[in-house]
Each structure stands twice: as structure tokens, then as C-alpha cells.
Structure 1
Amino acid sequence: MKTLLKSGIAGLSLFIVVSSAHAEGTIKTALDGTFAPHAMPTLDGKVEGFNVDLVNLIGERLGKEVELTSAQFSGLIPALQAKTYDFLAAPVTVNAERAANLLFTEGFMDTNFAFVVPADAPEYASLDDLKGKTIAVNKGSAYDSYLREREAEFGWTVESYGTNTDAVAAVLAGRADANLAGATVAAWAAKQNPQIKLSYEIQTGLVWGLAFRKDDEEGRNLIDKALECLKVDGSMAMLSEKWFGVVPAAGTTIVTPSKGYGVPGLEGYVEDDHQPSCELN
């Protein structure tokens, strides 16, 4: 499903002026259209979500149209390498293994884990506060593994479900004290249901970035600058509030430009002293 998507966020008119080969034409990009709230299908057959808005704002800043394809995540990286897409709009966790094969922009968001608990539950300030609790989780996920690896240490009971939706339903039904998922997925669940709330967040130290082919440093750097623009002009904070119901804390990745291009400390990072701006030459 290939669709031309226009941004629905008004009032943001800053524009990046560029003079490279990437300055004209259409951005061809793709994501998994079933990863709510980053991308999800609409009733009219399109996709919406945080990353859909993000890539359209990038297109606006660069004065380019966005051709966005919704596809299965497993096929995105091979299609990128085959030059079907210019880059991936999907949230991809940046790690050493992936950085060895792909170029990444700076992080646009931290990839933390977060608990969801009943709305009337006490405030949990640490993992110790969750000792002995029953925690529902999506079976086979990274969150499932995280909990089971620490089950003996914290004495919690891990209940695995086929989907995270089912795991959240267990909390709503009182069969579990909490649900653990990705922070944005947890925030989306809490935003949709007033019977639950966000709770303790586990810092992973990892970020999501936008992925490019190794031979497209120019394109990566251009989109990296566009991300910086969206951080400094407040657009990223607006997207966070719109899709997650969360006002980003100062210093977090979603509102804080990184020095240079890419993710510091990983392959493909280029140190540079350019200043984040929405007016680039």
C-alpha cells in the first residue's frame, strides 16, 4: 500500500534550505503500519501515527513530497538495501550489530521500557517497589525476557499473553498488577484507557533512529539535521503529547539534539560542530 501523505500538524512553517542532490524530488520511505502508536491503519486504508507525522514533517522542512509505504518490518531492511527506499521511517533500535550494516540518524527517541498499572495503584519509583507483583507481558517479547531473567531476584510472577493488548486486559481485569511493554506502547495504552496509568520507566540506554544505506552519508546527514530542527522548534514535543500524552522531560532524546551525525559511540557516527537549526545551507 503506497500513499502520498500530508502532515496534519498546522502552524509549523520553518523550512530547511538545502543545496545538495537530496534537495529535490520525493522522499521514498517505509515503515511497519501495524506498530501503534508509531504507525497504524486508518478506516480509509491509510496509515497514521507518530512516525507518519514525523516523516511528513521532515518532508515539509525539506520541501519534498513523502511517498510512504506500509510493509512488514521483516522486509524493510532488505528493501532499503535494494534501494527501493531512501531511508526507513520505521523506529529501529540502534545497536552495534545494526550500526555495522546501516547508517543511522541521531536518536529521535529513547527506547525505554515502562510499566502500566491500574489508575488507583500506588506510585512505583523503582523495580524494588514491584517485588512480588504479578506482571502481564507479551509472550516472547524483549519485555518477557527481561522479566523472566529477573524473576528470582524480584519475586514477581510473570504471566505471558499472545498480544500486549491481552496483557493490558489482564491488568484491567485485576488478573495482573502491572503490564510491561515499550514506553511508547505503554503510554498509548494509558492514553486510550483512563482505568490505567503509566508507571515506572526502565532506562535502556538505547535509542530509535532512522536507517539509511551505508553509502548514503549525505542523505543521512540531511535527515539528521531535519530531526534536529524538529527538536529545537518544538515539533517533537508536540508529537509526543499528541500520540503518547507525555510532555517530554528536558534532556531526553526526543527534544535534545545530539552533537555530530548519527549515534555517538557507534559505527557510522561522524563528529561535527554544526549547530542545530531550521535554517541550513
Structure 2
Amino acid sequence: MTLSTLRRSALPLALLAGLPAMAQELPEDGFKVALDGTFAPHAMPKLDGGVEGFNVDLAAAIGETLGTDMEVVAAQFSGLIPALQAGTYDFLVAPTTVTEERASSLLFTEGFMDTNFAFTVPAGSDEMEGLEAFEGMTIAVNKGSVYEAFLTERAEEYGWDVVAYGTNTDAVEAVATGRAEANMAGATVSAWAAKQNPRVDLSYEYDTGLVWAFPFRKDDVETRNMIDRVLECLKTDGTMAELSEKWFGVTPEEGRTIVTPTPGYGTPDFEGYDDTEHEVSCEF
């Protein structure tokens, strides 16, 4: 099934009984959005130029749902938020973790995906559940990453040996060649590694309680709310599940953020959240 074959008529599912969303005028030239073009499988260079990945396809699906153009610009992540604040982009489609600090200066949509940690293990390994399943193991990780810090902080408790590598690709290779018994990285990165490398399997996913969302300038409430409603549509019409299967090789479980609309507009419990009731609809 392709994106163009998905039916986006009004859906019977509703977050809460509420008034229908008001139509908003779209920019004449469409939206100019940006992401980090080196964060596979969310965005990565194509051999023939440009970028491809989960978030690139998600941006295209947003444009298709609204019937407008989406110009996707690839840039370094460190420069994305300053450029957004300067008005260079309308909003960002990069996976951006919602934090209190960021929410104080940016306006976020609801989460489009959980930003969890996950392990990869040698292919054919037994199913692992919980951090305790990795007690005493040698775990390979990308040097200087949040995953190295997470594992190191808990090394005494779980007795694992943390071995850091220059890239996560090297860390996964250590698992594939028997030099390590597991690797920890972001859940989507781990899923991509397992999809690309038959010598490793995706294993236990650690729930951080955090989500990725799209950031906007603080004063752009109307556009934030519109894109929030588009995300709800894409969660319920099957698009998000389709993209997950395509890029991560994972069928989302019921209740996961990637397939579950959030009531209101924005990310609950963070500044900028609006609990206004509205129906989930794919009519814009």
C-alpha cells in the first residue's frame, strides 16, 4: 500500500467530543521544513542526491494530507533550532526530544514517536526482558552517547562491562562478530541496524517516557495545531504504522505513541500544551 492509496476521509475515532477543527489558510508556496540529514533511518543521503528516511516520508505525507508542497532541507542538527527561531524554516521535521528547557522557547506538537533505548543482540538469541536480562554482559555502545552514560551509571548495579566504540556501526559490528554480547542505541537506530544486518536481532526496548515531536516558533500556534491534527490523522489512517514497517521493520504495538493520538494540542505536561477538545479527522 502506498501513501497515495490511503483513504483520508473523516474518521469515526475521536479523542473527546468536541467542535470540528477550523480550516486554516496554507502558505502559497507550501511549507519549508528542515531536519538532520545524517540521522539514519530518519533521514540519510541518497546516492542520487537528496535525502530519504522515515521523517522525509512523514513530511511528504503531511504535505499530501494538506494538499500543499513541503520543501525539506537537510542541515546539521545543531543549527536547526536557531534557524527555526530566525524564521528560516516554518517548522522542523527532525526527531526532536521534548524537554522542559526546549518547551520554554519552542512550541511542540504531540509526540509522533516514543524516543526509547533498545538493545541489539546476536541473531538467534533468546528473548530478553528487562535490564536484568543483560546482567554481567559485555555491552558495546557509541562513545560519548547518552547510551554510554546510561549504561555506565548502572554498571555497578547490573555488573555489565561497557565497551565504547567510535561509531554505533562499529558497536553493532562488535555484537555481530562476538566481541560483545549486546549493543544499546536509540530504539529506531537499533531497529534499523537489525533490519540491515542479518547477524543481529532487535531485543529489549527500554521505555524512557520521552517522545519526539515537531517544534515551532512560540507564536505560531495555528500552524502547530494544524500539524498536530495532521499527525493524529496519520496515526489513525495507517500511515504511521506503514512507515514504521518500511523503515524500522517494526509493526507498532497498540498504545504506542506512533499510532495513538494525544488529546489536545501539543505534548501533555509541558509548556505550550493546550487541552482543547477536538475530533480526529483527516479533512482539512
Structure 2 residue aligned with 1:134 = 138
Is contact 1:106-1:261 (8 Å) kept? yes
Structure 2 residue aligned with 1:68 = 72
Equivalent position amino acid for 1:277 in 2: S
- Superposed CA RMSD in Å reads 1.4
- TM superposition shift of 1:85: 0.4
Is contact 1:116-1:199 (8 Å) kept? yes
- TM superposition shift of 1:228: 0.3
Is contact 1:15-1:62 (8 Å) kept? no
Runs of 5+ unmatched residues, structure 1: 1-7
**C-alpha separation between the residues in 2 aligned to 1:94 and 1:166?**
29
Identity value in percent: 64
Spell out, residue by residue over 1:226-281, the C-alpha distance to the aligned partner (whole angstroms, 9 max, x if none): 0000001010000000000000000000000000000000000000110111124x
Spell out, residue by residue over 1:42-85, the C-alpha distance to the aligned partner (whole angstroms, 9 max, x if none): 01111000000001100011111011101000110010001110
Q: How does 1:210-229 map to 2 (within 5 A)?
A: 210-229=214-233
1:91 to 72, 91, 95: 95
**C-alpha separation between the residues in 2 aligned to 1:23 and 1:73?**
25
With 118-127 and 197-206 compared, the bigger mean Cα shift is at 118-127
* Superposition TM-score, scaled by structure 1 size: 0.94
- TM superposition shift of 1:24: 4.2
- TM superposition shift of 1:15: 6.9
**C-alpha separation between the residues in 2 aligned to 1:99 and 1:154?**
34
- Are positions 1:154 and 2:155 aligned together? no
**C-alpha separation between the residues in 1 aligned to 2:280 and 2:35?**
26
- TM superposition shift of 1:21: 3.1
2:191 to 183, 187, 190: 187
**C-alpha separation between the residues in 2 aligned to 1:126 and 1:156?**
14
- Are positions 1:231 and 2:225 aligned together? no
Is contact 2:194-2:200 (8 Å) kept? yes
- TM superposition shift of 1:18: 6.6
Structure 1 residue aligned with 2:265 = 261
- TM superposition shift of 1:177: 0.2
Is contact 1:18-1:62 (8 Å) kept? no
Is contact 2:122-2:181 (8 Å) kept? yes
More RCO (CA 8 Å, sep 6+): 2
Is contact 2:26-2:68 (8 Å) kept? no
How many pairs align? 273
Is contact 1:108-1:209 (8 Å) kept? yes
With 79-88 and 14-23 compared, the bigger mean Cα shift is at 14-23
* Superposition TM-score, scaled by structure 2 size: 0.93
- TM superposition shift of 1:194: 1.5
**C-alpha separation between the residues in 2 aligned to 1:69 and 1:279?**
27
Structure 1 residue aligned with 2:110 = 106
SS of the residue 1:117 aligns to: strand
Structure 1 residue aligned with 2:18 = none
Moved over 6 A (4+): 15-18
